[in-house]
Amino acid sequence: MAVSFLGTGPGPGLAEHAPMPNPRVLPPRNLLLLLALLSACVEIPPFDDPAPGANEDAGTLQDAGTVVQQGPRLRTTAPADGSTRVPIDSALGFTFSKPVQPSTLQVSFSPPATPGALVWAEDHTQVTFQTQSPLAEDTTYTVTVQGTDPAGNALEGVNSVSFTTAGPQPDTTPPSVLSTTPSSGAIGLERKPTIKVTFSEPMSRAATEAAVSFTTPAGFTPGEFSWNATSTEVSFSPTSEFAYGVSVAWRISNSARDTAGNALSTETSMNFRAIRLNTAIIDFEPETSGSLGAPSYFLQTHYYNVAWVGDDSGANIDRLFLGFQLDKLPDNLTRVVSSRLKWPVSMIIGDPLSKFGPLLLEPVDVGDVIELSFSGPNPSTVADYHAVALAPAVVVSLSDKPLRGDFDVTTWTTQDWGNRNLRNKRTQYRLRFETPNNGDPVKDQIYSDSYDNPILATLWVTYEYP
């Protein structure tokens, strides 16, 4: 089997597209409004392809084969770490990566303060509260949380946040950018992403919005801006989609100002790369492709020489199987955009479309191989012929010029890719007629010959990847 790739930008791999061997053999038969909470960011080196990552909520497999469960992690805080000019009567909020057992959560302040009632939401992954009395003015506080999940796994990683309250004196401290989402150097972003910026203190909305711009590529501007209630976090998107794989740079100039009129301490410039697009052209897999007829179930070889769907001049009613290996698709693809099954046809013999009704296409699972069957039906071959369809069949038709089938199988390929561990990275299809009959000795077939079409069928899979 040969695979080739076409796309915008370098794909995960390239190989020559070459025809299959063409030996001449016998024909086969075959709760509350929370303060806006900012997601924590992790810096990524600019535009490096991502290494496979583990789900932070999943267990870690040890060498001895024992799975050790991980505890929850603190994902976001409000106010954000490093915030200044925080009102002394602010509500505080924390978001965790997984549910926390409420009875185990402990909140401590340095310098001391007493938290009020804890209010939980989102299946005990979010908590908000206020202190029983206002915080001291112009004071830096560190708030630490400790607790476990319902299974007893303790909170892991950084579990504290520091911020400075507003004081009675006029604000002369320049604001700063605490974090951005996505982080600079992020890759694989959607083509019209939402960008979030968290500032150290409340900002002048008009001045800050005017300071935001996209520097590359040219021609893009921010659309509508969205702010949280305290004017410390702003979100925006471009007015239109970026091209696939394009590198994007944006900035906030120091003309951005806080509500007291202090200019941003430093201009902030960030960049990311949009999701990429590629198309893989995958040749059919001989071991799971070809014609198979009943009631003989005779299958002598997996080599493709001729193949058809319909009936022969004898007693057999033939179905055509078309299988493809998906192991050349990258594991980090994020979405199958489209998948088309292309089947070149040599000729139509007789009148199968009139005699047998509509031509039907359906997804099946015949495993790693359609078993050969020589002297007497092989039960495995019989089972493959009668394999239960994985979804209802759809009526398909052939184009005239050139004579071929070109079928949209995006939904089925996407499902098989989602179940690739169970399907051994295969997607397989079967063509048959709705009401086959064999009441006459005339051959009625849709027929493919390796002389005219060296490749029985190809699968064109277009996908997005980081």
CA distance 422 to 425: 8
CATH number of 221's domain: 2.60.40.1220
With respect to residue 37, please indicate whether it lies within any of the assigned structural domains.
no
Same domain, 194 and 252: yes
User: Band of the pLDDT at 408, cuts 50, 70, 90?
Assistant: very high
- Which of the pair, 200 or 66, is modelled with greater confidence? 200
Same domain, 377 and 414: yes
- Burial of 51 from C-beta contacts in 10 A (0-12 / 13-18 / 19+): exposed
Same domain, 377 and 428: yes
202-206 mean pLDDT: 97
pTM of the predicted model as reported, rounded to 2 decimal places = 0.75
Which domain, by its residues, includes 122? 60-165
In this prediction, residue 45 carries a pLDDT of 35
With respect to residue 39, please indicate whether it lies within any of the assigned structural domains.
no
In this prediction, residue 185 carries a pLDDT of 95
User: Band of the pLDDT at 286, cuts 50, 70, 90?
Assistant: very high
Q: Which of 33-37, 429-433, 437-441 has the lowest mean pLDDT?
A: 33-37
pLDDT digits (tens, 9 = 90+) for 105-149: 999 999 999 999 999 999 999 999 999 999 999 999 999 999 999
Same domain, 412 and 300: yes
User: Band of the pLDDT at 401, cuts 50, 70, 90?
Assistant: confident
Q: How many domains does the chain have?
A: 3
Of the candidates 274, 294, 316, which is a domain's last residue?
274
In this prediction, residue 68 carries a pLDDT of 55
pLDDT digits (tens, 9 = 90+) for 259-277: 999 999 999 999 999 999 9
CA distance 18 to 281: 11
With respect to residue 400, please indicate whether it lies within any of the assigned structural domains.
yes
Same domain, 246 and 157: no
The pair of structure tokens assigned to 392 is 């209802």
In this prediction, residue 441 carries a pLDDT of 85
Same domain, 330 and 458: yes
The residues pairing with 108 across neighbouring beta strands, listed in sequence order, are: 144
Of the candidates 243, 274, 305, which is a domain's last residue?
274
pLDDT for 293 beyond 80: yes
pLDDT for 10 beyond 60: no
Same domain, 226 and 297: no
Of the candidates 142, 165, 188, which is a domain's last residue?
165
